[in-house]
Amino acid sequence: MQRRAFLLGATAAAAVAGGAGYLRARIVETPAQVRYPGMQAGHALRDGAALPEPTDARACGVAILGSGVAGLSCAWKLAREGHADFVVVAGPEYA
């Protein structure tokens, strides 16, 4: 290894290390906020609150809980395989 290549590499490594330390020092801590969908309903269930009476009854072969990427992917695959007896139940949304 030549002296010039070594010095350039060492200088670059020092600049990267110093830059990372500078960026770490500039990061501002923000307080964490937990806002999961359904959190209030989950706390009510945990505390033993009475569930609301059902307003509708449906019979189906498969119930997909959640209309996110996984739920919609599951529904798509079921429909692609020829299953029509399923329902997708959307969950609570972020507030």
Q: pLDDT for 10-26, tens place per residue?
A: 777 766 666 656 555 56
Q: Across-strand partners of 87?
A: 63
Cβ–Cβ < 8 Å for 85, 62: yes
Q: Please, what sign has the CA dihedral across residues 43, 47, 53, 56?
A: positive
| 3 or 74: which leads in pLDDT | 74
- In sequence order, what are the residues at sequence separation of 6 or more whose Cβ sits closer than 8 angstroms to the Cβ of residue 68? 91
Look up tokens 């330390």; give the residue: 21
Maximum Cα interatomic distance, the chain, rounded to a whole number of Å: 80
- Helix boundaries (H) for 27-88: 39-46, 69-80
- Residue range 23-35: mean pLDDT, rounded: 68
- Residue range 63-76: mean pLDDT, rounded: 91
Of all residues in the chain, what percent carry a pLDDT higher than 90?
A: 26
- Residue range 1-9: mean pLDDT, rounded: 76
Question: Which pLDDT value is given to residue 17?
Answer: 64
Could you give the CA distance from residue 67 to residue 84 in angstroms, rounded to a whole number?
17
Q: What pTM did the predictor assign?
A: 0.47
For residue 43, is pLDDT > 80? Answer: yes
Question: Which pLDDT value is given to residue 62?
Answer: 93
